[in-house]
Chains A and B, each alone.
Chain A
Amino acid sequence: AQSVSQHNHHVILSEAASLELGCNYSYGGTVNLFWYVQYPGQHLQLLLKYFSGDPLVKGIKGFEAEFIKSKFSFNLRKPSVQWSDTAEYFCAVRNTGNQFYFGTGTSLTVIP
């Protein structure tokens, strides 16, 4: 069975600090990996996705993620966060049936 772990439940950073959110997955098949963001009161928005190829994936709003197969990880990074990045971040694995399995989420608070 597939599962996704996000170890950071709540992260607090000052503006301009660098961000790295951990994501580890457990899935025996070909992995498709995603990061979503959910701003307060809003719906899920896709940040980036990895299907194959270059393991370093660049997404919207300056976010990137690196797929490390040997570590079963897909960590999200941003070199300099802004107050507007305050949101909930979800890592997800998609199986071959297009079903998504989400991590428990990381709440990011950026202090101006």
Chain B
Amino acid sequence: GAVVSQHPSWVICKSGTSVKIECRSLDFQATTMFWYRQFPKQSLMLMATSNEGSKATYEQGVEKDKFLINHASLTLSTLTVTSAHPEDSSFYICSAGAYGYTFGSGTRLTVV
């Protein structure tokens, strides 16, 4: 079945630095991938839709200049959290697949 891989699983970075998270579709091609964020004890919130070869579309309230998304190939989308701050600490999850319902294992980001 469809497998979505995320890397890294967890990352700790200093405030003000940038962090890149990768989302890969391992056994299928994905023209569209989705990025979600989950704060502790809260639900997943859709951040943006990543489109291969074109600009990502962001949900209302999500800063596109802070959360840079690149979908350069049919199997890889990256989310870069720029100038990270402690409030960006969260669990970031991507999804892909023909129907968007295969989720990656997530990336725990802690900004100190």
Contacts and interface: CB of A to CB of B under 8 A. Distances in A.
Q: How many residues of A sit at the interface, in one of the four size bands? A: 10 to 19
Nearest to A101: B46
A90 B44 contact: yes
Given A43-B93, A90-B44, A100 B105 contact: no
B46 A98 contact: no
Nearest to A107: B41
Contact of A100 (B42, B46, B106): B46
Contacts of A102: 43-45
A58 to B, nearest CB: 17
Interface in A16-48: 32, 34, 36, 42-44, 46
Contact of A99 (B43, B93, B100, B103): B100
State the majority secondary structure of interface residues on B.
strand
A1 to B, nearest CB: 10
Contacts of B95: 100
Interface residues of B, number: 19
Nearest to B34: A99
Interface of A: 32, 34, 36, 42-44, 46, 49, 90, 94, 97-105
21 contacts: A32-B99, A36-B103, A43-B105, A43-B106, A46-B102, A49-B101, A90-B43, A94-B101, A98-B32, A98-B99, A98-B100, A98-B101, A99-B49, A100-B34, A100-B36, A100-B44, A102-B43, A103-B43, A104-B42, A104-B43, A105-B42
Interface of B: 32, 34, 36, 42-46, 49, 93, 95, 99-106
